[in-house]
Structure 1
Amino acid sequence: MRTEAPASQTVARAMELLRLVSSSRREGMRLNDIVEIGELSKPTVYRLLKELVNCGLLMRSPDKRYFLGQFAYELGLSASAHFHLREMCQPYVSRIAQETGDTVFLVVRSGPDSFCLDRQTGNYPIKVFSVEVGHRQPLGIGAGGLALLSWLPQDEREAVIARNSVRLSMYGGLDERRLRRLVEEARGAGHSRIADFAIPGVTGVGVPVLDRVGVPMLALSVTSVSARMAPSHQGEALHVLCQEAAKLQGLLNNTAPALRK
């Protein structure tokens, strides 16, 4: 007789599959890719995917790739009315983009991933569009995601790194050892810096925005082509970034209860 997984475990596994599929928004994901990355048996993954498709949270294309479905879109629209974080941060993100001339990302944590909440571009002629609004990727990828990861409590940080270990190699050969080194460098410098892993020829610097107990609420990053991000320009970008992050941190810590109404 088959033993059913506890309901809570089934829900957790289904949510993990949703996160994986949403990380490949344009390309979608095939069953075998989800099995490999999700570390679940193929029958389990297939059963969960079928249920998620039936309820509209996922859809399956003719070439057997899975994408977020119509109901996921409807849920996002319904939830958006209750979350004001992007609107509160928008003036700070825009000022950083205007003063540095570069591309600025606002990212938040979503489980083991970072989620791009906003992106603004400056006037530098070469734009970096490495991440779209709504994109998710493992924590530690990108300057903003690295800032979020670096300022997590150590036990939580290690759990995230272990959970994402299978996925790291997809980003320029990054692995647990290299990621831990980047975390150490970020904590020592007071800001994150990452180059070439996600996209060759692109460098970014980032800082966390912390709550009252020192846990990151979000991160801001400035990204440009590596040729532009010489030490002098990095210093200028970090000066602006840290100033605006400090102001935003003060605002959010004074209005935290009002972020979700």
Structure 2
Amino acid sequence: MTKLDETYTLNNGIKIPKVAFGTWQMPAEKTRQSVLDALQAGYRHIDTALAYGNEKEVGQAVRDSGIPRDQIYVTSKLPGETKTYEGAKKDFEETFNNLDIDYLDLYLVHAPFPWAEMGKSENIEKYDKANQEIWKALEEIQASGKVKSIGVSNFNVHDLESLLSTAKVTPAVDQIQYYVGYTEPKITKFATDKDILIEAYSPLATGRMLSNPTVERIAEKYDASVAQLAIEFVVQNGALPLPKATQKAHILDNAKLDFEISAEDMEKLNSLKDTAVDMYHHGRQE
């Protein structure tokens, strides 16, 4: 059994594979083959989004893989710009039709704000109310059986508190930027206390981690690549990494997680701080 076969259990009792294959910024024409390569390498959790423009290709790969549907975990996301109940229902139907795989395992609100308005504090109250409305739509979609679990992405502590104040269903996950040197302790603690799983996108710090000398030294010790170490670090912290790669060699390399990082080395890695934050975060540090 490899790390790719291991699972976490979500707050609704559903199991989710511990490592996902991410498809952010993956060109549609490369997506089908990359996802097929990932499934062949042993990944059983694929993450996409309507905003990525590659859902059809992800769905095609799942159907073409020959692997039973119930053995592949598929996540997609509602665009951050969609902030109405009706819009959420409409965008979900588009995602559902794009994927064409009977049901989604997980459906996330991609962001608390439209991307263009990230970090503008004057909009917080407006979008708190909007997120509560779209969450009602997601709860109904889940109740319909078309989605097994629902969650959020890029939500900080305030965003989660606001959502939970009216939610009937607690989000199963919060997918945030998280990697060695940038582990969002406040969001992580709040989510963990509420039994919300942290999913870690950009676990390789969009490539920056690959040249950090401390990380390089620790990786050598385990005869592991820096990428493997960065992914294993996330898993050992109890979060779910979403590494992405389009080259088959990298996909296979990232899947080889057959080592354990010692408590001492985890402490060293957890004490690192990234000074170069960052291209994709919403700017409200919680």
| TM-score normalised by the chain length of structure 2 | 0.28
Q: With CA pairs under 8 Å and 6+ residues apart, which has the higher RCO, 1 or 2?
A: 2
